[in-house]
Amino acid sequence: MSLIPQIIFLLLMGIGSFLFLKRIRLIQKSIQLGRADLPTDQPVQRMGQVLRLALGQQKMFRNIPVAILHLVIYAGFIIINIEVLEIVLDGLTGAHRIFLQPMGSLYPILINAFEWLALGVLIACVFFWVRRNLMSIRRLQSPDLNGWPRNDANLILITEVVLMSLFLFMNAADTLLQTRNVSAYASAETGLFAVSQYLHPLLTDLSNTALIAIERACWWLHIAGIIAFLNYLPYSKHLHILLAFPNAYYAPLKTGKGKMDNMPSIQQEVLLAMNPSATVDPSASTSVGRFGAKDVQDLGQKNLLDAYSCTECGRCSAACPAQHTGKLLSPRRIMMRTRDRMEDLQKLPVDQRDNDGKSLLHDYISVEELRACTTCQACVEECPVSINPMDIILQLRRYLVMEESNAPSEWTGMFGNVENNFAPWKFSPEDRDAWMKEQK
């Protein structure tokens, strides 16, 4: 028996795996550009978040019909990989349906379940394509998605349809060859399958040679398509299929919604300004380097993991009050631009990344966008995979104010009043005390 098919298959798997791991390593390096801030505490509670948010897709079920269809596609991606394992082993060994003999009567049940799931994925993908392209859903028609992002989403849906169709046609040709007692197919008696049997009328008039060609072509195209999809995934917004899990794990466990992280050194300075006799905390007196963030290197690794985990679904922007009132701010675009900046930096030599003449602030994200944020936390609340665009906005805005002294005049006046009068209003403490006495 010729070993050429196995050698070709092995080369295909080896090259595909190498390219995939190379890209994943590049993404890891991009995330490591940020400050090391990924938490390791309370692993049990963090695993609970993974089960609820990533595996259970808890937030998706705020819209039940869409959530169910999304769950079908998600389950198809996870569960049908068991079938892919059989294809891989068949390719390596030259066998045909290698799991049939050890699994016995359970095998047809399993393949039938896969076929129903494949049909569900086909229906869901068609629905999502129509929803994304033909229905007037504002967040899916946003200018944020113009160009590659919109094409990316459609390409993924079309790829899923093609892969599921290849799977069903492969099974249809296979079972039809079994009924005709053709060579190796006759020895793998699986019986008819639940969905693919309805494709038999399309194939019945074909010769055995043509059926074998269709079955083999579908088999090769299916596995080649999966390897191509695997390598496309890290360049796509659908990387969230993988990164949703670590992102949910590292998400904050804080119960206080809307709580902002302060800089201890700044708090110390304010405390001393308001009460010079206060005790100094030595741990807060260390050098802070840069206030806020100007570029991705100043952000935390969780912020950068957020950017790569973004699904570009737009639920954050749809919930943003600034977006609703016509402001330039789009939380989704904040995450997309952060990811773009990391990708652009990785294209540069290492010694040029700190001085390429550009930065996340100003070149990728504008001051107007940052100032439009009301810090209401709606974007954080809506994100299905625990992304926090507001944290990036606050860090960039902190840099604007504290490093560039770039703030609206209204803010500057308020800051001056807080510094001089210990309150946002332009009244001295003595005048406020007098006013309070007058009210009594």
**Predicted confidence (pLDDT) per residue in 388-403, tens digit:** 999 999 999 999 998 9
Please give the pLDDT value at position 408. Answer: 86
Please give the pLDDT value at position 284. Answer: 56
Could you tell me the residue ranges of all domains in the chain? 4-31+63-246, 292-406
Class of the CATH-defined domain 292-406: mainly alpha
Phi then psi for residue 406, to 5 deg, are -110, 100
Average pLDDT over residues 248-275: 75
Residue 136 has pLDDT above 60, yes or no: yes
Average pLDDT over residues 29-55: 91
Average pLDDT over residues 408-412: 85
Report d(CA 37, CA 39) in Å as an integer. 6
DSSP state of 180: T
Identify the bridge partners of residue 300 per DSSP, sorted by sequence position.
Answer: 35
The predicted model scores a pTM of 0.85
| DSSP letters spanning 237-280 | GGGHHHHHHHHHHHS---SSTTPPPPPHHHHHHHHHHH-TTSPP
Helix 389-402 and helix 301-309: axis angle, to 10°?
130
Residue 119 has pLDDT above 60, yes or no: yes
To which residue do tokens 């088999």 refer? 219
Report d(CA 225, CA 238) in Å as an integer. 16
Please give the pLDDT value at position 412. Answer: 85
Average pLDDT over residues 302-312: 94
- Smallest CA-to-CA distance from 157 within 238, 55, 234, 218 is with 238
Classify 398 as helix, strand or coil: helix
- The predicted-structure confidence for 362-389, as pLDDT tens digits, reads as follows 999 999 999 999 999 999 999 988 899 9
Report d(CA 246, CA 309) in Å as an integer. 9
Residues 6+ apart with CB under 8 A from 85: none
CB crowding 18-42: b at 16 or more within 10 Å, else e:
eebeebeeebeebbebbbeeeeeee
- The predicted-structure confidence for 272-291, as pLDDT tens digits, reads as follows 766 777 776 666 555 566 88
Report d(CA 112, CA 398) in Å as an integer. 57
The pLDDT-based confidence of 211 (bands split at 50, 70, 90) is very high
Identify the bridge partners of residue 35 per DSSP, sorted by sequence position.
Answer: 300
The pLDDT-based confidence of 125 (bands split at 50, 70, 90) is very high
Alpha carbons within 13 A on the beta-carbon side of 128: 25
